[in-house]
Amino acid sequence: MDQRVTVVTGGSRGIGAAICLRLAAEGHDVAVGYRSDAEAAEGVAERVRALGRAAVAVAVDTADAAKVDRLFDTAAKYLGPVTGLVNNAGVSGPVGALADADPEGMRQALGVNVLGYLLCARRAIRDMAAGGAIVNVSSAAATLGSPGTYVHYAAAKAAADAMTVGLSKEVAADGIRVNCVAPGTIWTDFHADPQRPAKIAALVPMGRAGQPEEIAGAVAWLLSDDASYATGTVMRIAGGM
């Protein structure tokens, strides 16, 4: 593969931004997908360029198929053939017991976390040649279930695990690998309660929440040649949770 060109959804901040910078350090050109914060996304693209790689920031609602097509078209136009996808853009939706959850909030969360991942993966495998790779960012919530917090979100992340297994088998013969990283609680602006990572620390065997960079390294490895025999795997990075 001449040049790695990787699309990272939700690349404007948090885990996605750390992934963009780690991939740039490892030689990837990066398309930084974002929903609304153009300034943050352009800031990440600038930091990628400062690391010597090409970058383009692209606004996209990943739950919208036409906008997903525009994301991949723009990435290919400015950076060249896409070789990698990190399905990372996600939202929690309503927080609390399922009995109290707002249906529209749940619909939006499932749209981004499930349909969005499927639409991006669908377009990626249409474009990618042999040697391409996809990493889905799931969550430890997929197996913990998140009772009382966001059962709908845990269910959506379990869907990311399942699509990893199915799609990996579907495209293995094409030379495309599909894997998943399942983070535990990470210090980002994702949480409705900004102090949630501090509050859950006592429940984590390692005694702390994680940092975005601790997820980025796993994603970079799964996209690298070192992971050439890894497909269909869900790598849990959750401090022992």
Contacting residues toward ligand NAP, per CB under 6 A: 9-10, 12-16, 33-37, 40, 60-63, 88-91, 112, 137, 139, 183, 185-186, 188-190
Q: How far is the CB of 216 from ligand NAP (least distance, A)?
A: 10
Evaluate the CA torsion angle 10, 12, 13, 14 in order and state its sign: positive
Q: How far is the CB of 88 from ligand NAP (least distance, A)?
A: 5
**Burial of 42: CB neighbours in 10 Å, binned 0-12, 13-18, 19+:** middle
**Helix 116-127 with 65-79: angle, nearest 10 deg:** 40
With respect to ligand NAP, which residue has the nearer C-beta, 23 or 175? 23
- In whole angstroms, how large is the CA radius of gyration of the chain? 17
With respect to ligand NAP, which residue has the nearer C-beta, 131 or 200? 200
Active-site option among 34, 117, 150, 153: 153
Evaluate the CA torsion angle 69, 75, 78, 82 in order and state its sign: negative
Closest CA to 88 of 170, 167, 188: 188
Any catalytic annotation for residue 153?
yes
Q: How far is the CB of 66 from ligand NAP (least distance, A)?
A: 13
With respect to ligand NAP, which residue has the nearer C-beta, 40 or 76? 40
Q: Which residues are catalytic?
A: 153
